[in-house]
Structure formats: C-alpha cells, structure tokens
Amino acid sequence: MSNVEWPVPADPKDLGKPIEFGIIDSEGSSGHRSRNKNSLYEAGSLQAEMREAAVKAGVSNVEASRVREVLLRAFPESTTRAIKSAIADTVSVLMDVVTTLHRADEKQMEPVWSTVGELYIHASNDIAAALAVIAASSHSTDTSIARRIGEYSANLSFLSVIMSTLQKNDPAVSLQIGMAGLLHDCSLLLNQEWFQSHYSVNDETQRKKYRKHPIESADLLNGVPGIPKELLGLIMETHEQADGSGYPRGLVLGKVRQGSEILNAADAYLSLTQPVRGASYLPSDVIGYLCLQAAEGKFCREAIQLLTRSMSMYPVGSLVELNDQSKAVVIEGNFDAPMRPIVRMLHSSHEKHDLRIAPLSILKPLLPKSQSHERIPKSRFQEVLWRTDRESVIKTI
C-alpha cells in the first residue's frame, strides 16, 4: 500500500467555499513523504494537498442520467442486472424478516444469509461493477422511508462486504460483517415516526432514544436462531467512533470487535452520499472529508484507508474533468494508485483510459446536471456530518 499524506492548508479567507482536492500518490508529483509515522497526515494510504484556495464547484452540463448510462455500460449488462437483482432481493428479504422477527423460526434467517452470500459472490467476482451499481442506486426516487432504509442497509451490507473482501478476510467473517450491515438498522424500520417532521429537532429525549437504536436492533435479533452473539456485537458497535464519540456506549478503538471499524467507515460514507433524508454530498469530497476526520482520530485509519482503496479518491461513478478539459466517468479504482483510477470518456467513442499509464490526469470533480449532490464547504470540515440524516429530525449533533 502506498504511503500518503494529507497536508491541508487552512486559510481563514477560504472558509465557506467548496474545497478542491489535489491528491498526490507516493510515486511522485508534488508533495513529500513524511518522516513521522504517527498520523494519517504522515503515514496513511494517500497523499494530498489543496491545489486551489478558492475554486468554484464545477457544475457540468452533463446530465446525471448520462453519467449513469456511460458508467453502467462499461460492464456486461448481465453482470449489472444480476447485481441489481441481488440488491433488490436483499432489500425484499430484509423488509420481510423485520415484520416476522417475533416468530424466532430457525428457517427465518436462511434467506437473509443467502442474499448476503449472493452479495459476497458479486463482490468477489467484480468489485468495480458492484461499486458502479451501488453508485447508480444513489439516485433512487423512491420516497418511502421504509424503502429508503432498506436500500441503504443493503448498500451498506454490500460495501462492507467489498471492503472485507479487499482486506482478505475469511469468507465467514465477510458474511458476518455483511449481515451486520444489513440488519443494524432493523429497529428503524419499526420506528419510522423518527423520520416524520412532527418530531421536534430540539427534543433531547427523542435524540437519546434514537441513539439507542443499535441496542434495540440487537435486542430484536437476540435469541433468533441463526444469529450468533458475535453478530449482535457488530450491530451494536457500527456507530461507535474511534475516539469514543460514537454511540450507544462510547467505545474507543481497540474496544470494538473486528469488522466494526469497517462497518463504521462504510456507514459514514453512505450516510453522506446516500442519506435516507437530508443533504447528500459529492463522493470525492466525502472521501477527503473522512480522511481528514480519520486524521483527527474520529475513525480507524486503517478502515478509512480500506474504504479509499475500495472507492478510490474519485469514487466509481464520479464525473470528472481531465487535464485536457475532456469529461469522463470513473469506472474502476486502482488500489495502488487512488488518484489514478480507470475512466471512461463521455464523448461518443467512450474509450477507456487507465490513468496510471495514460497521458491524462484528473483536474477536478464535477457535479452532473440534475444531480442532488452538494459540495462540502471548507467551513464544515470540522463538523460531524455523518449520520445526521437520521439525527437531524431529532437534534443535529
């Protein structure tokens, strides 16, 4: 894995402006390797600097639907269709099982394990295609809160399995992590009123109750045949942060189970890019933001490095402008060079370029037209933004 740094200048005059990342990998370009090995700034998986102090958010005239089309056509239709079907089946199974948890039937969990197993197979066979389908699903127009929670949980399960697979975990470990990602919010499906506007944003009682939902999810599954105790622990620890600022118990890094750090990082990424409700942010901004938060000790650094290896610094599905002013969509990351992914051009030929070897580089990310993502302004980079899609209806952290 490459050595990297995140030196980020903080000029007061830039506060409130969207940021632009210039990431430099260990193989060259500008930047330097640090001699200190004590923080992500000096010893992470990426090396970065801010290239421009005040850059406008490049809004493109490319339609978001066009970006998705070019993205998905980079893979065999049979592959993306199968992955979409597996995700849909996972959502359906989740919705069914939550309504029948009271039965405690041994066969009840068999379909759940089976669908997560399908996700694992797809993650093992084609990570790029799996990430492409996840990215495309961020544009769902379904307004049902229950359906959105279900889709979010399925995507969290899938992304967590992908990360676990990249970590070369035993398949049984990856499956358990995927199950925890799928089931960790099952209590929210039984408390959909938390997402309704009549719940006061200043109601501290409701906020505290919400923060106990991981325990409630584990309680719902406790004693159900096919659900091991280790899985319950992962569910309860998904929202625990490395510095102890998470919930429900405020556990610090080293006090949580193997796999909890993966779930925590994947959940933070998805809650910022595909929230159940509220603002969604540009994926490349989110990756940079999470790296900075890891440098501050909020996340396990290794888990964020793993997320970055999975997604790349410009995640699969990102619309980007290249240094020749052409536009392209990221279709695959290069695990050893996060700033140099594989892209597919948006003009008619749609040729593919591996930026590790092509005489091209990414100039900046773009916001496709008609896409709901926002840029993260520098003034908010010290704020806790993840998981506020749920807490915002109760009380923003």
Is 131 a residue whose pLDDT tops 80?
yes
Give CA–CA dist 48/51, Å, rounded.
Answer: 9
Cα separations in angstroms, 172 against 168, 175, 179: 11, 5, 11
> What pLDDT does residue 394 have?
38
Cα dist from 198 to 142, 220, 363, 388, whole Å: 21, 26, 44, 17
Is there a contact between 395 and 203 (Cβ–Cβ < 8 Å)? Answer: yes
Q: Which among 269, 349, 261, 275 has a CA at the least distance from the CA of 316?
A: 269
pLDDT digits (tens, 9 = 90+) for 6-19: 333 344 344 444 44
* Per-residue pLDDT at 107: 65
Alpha-helical segments (H) within the chain: 40-43, 64-72, 77-98, 110-125, 127-136, 145-166, 171-183, 186-189, 204-210, 213-221, 229-237, 260-273, 283-295, 301-311, 388-391
Q: Say what percent of the chain tops pLDDT 70.
A: 76
Least reliable range by pLDDT among 112-116, 125-129, 279-283, 294-298: 279-283
Residues 6+ apart with CB under 8 A from 144: none
Q: How confident is the model at residue 173 (pLDDT cuts 50, 70, 90)?
A: very high
- Comparing CA positions, the residue from 213, 218, 228 lying closest to residue 109 is 228
Alpha carbons 366 and 74: distance in angstroms, whole number: 20
Hey, what amino acid is at 190? L
pLDDT digits (tens, 9 = 90+) for 42-85: 333 333 333 333 234 445 678 888 999 999 999 999 999 999 99
Helices then strands, each counted (H, E), the chain: 15, 9
Tell me what pLDDT residue 389 has: 47
pLDDT at 350 over 90: no
Local confidence band at 277 (pLDDT 50, 70, 90 cut-offs): confident
The three-state DSSP-derived secondary structure of 156-190 is HHHHHHHHHHHCCCCHHHHHHHHHHHHHCCHHHHC
Which pLDDT value is given to residue 50?
33
pLDDT for the residue 42: 33
Q: Give the pLDDT score at 3.
A: 40
Directed axis angle between helix 77-98 and helix 145-166, to 10°?
120
Lowest mean pLDDT among 141-150, 178-187, 199-208: 199-208
Is residue 148 within 8 Å of 276, Cβ to Cβ? yes
The 10s digit of each residue's pLDDT in 212-245 is: 889 999 999 998 888 999 999 999 999 999 999 9
Residue 167 has pLDDT above 50, yes or no: yes
Q: Which residue has the higher pLDDT, 235 or 201?
A: 235
The per-residue pLDDT for 52 is 36
Averaged over 243-253, what is the pLDDT?
A: 93
Is residue 338 pLDDT above 80, yes or no? yes
Reply yes or no on whether the pLDDT at 27 is more than 70: no
Q: Which of 40-49, 102-111, 353-362 has the lowest mean pLDDT?
A: 40-49
391 class by beta-carbon count within 10 Å (0-12 exposed, 13-18 middle, 19+ buried): buried
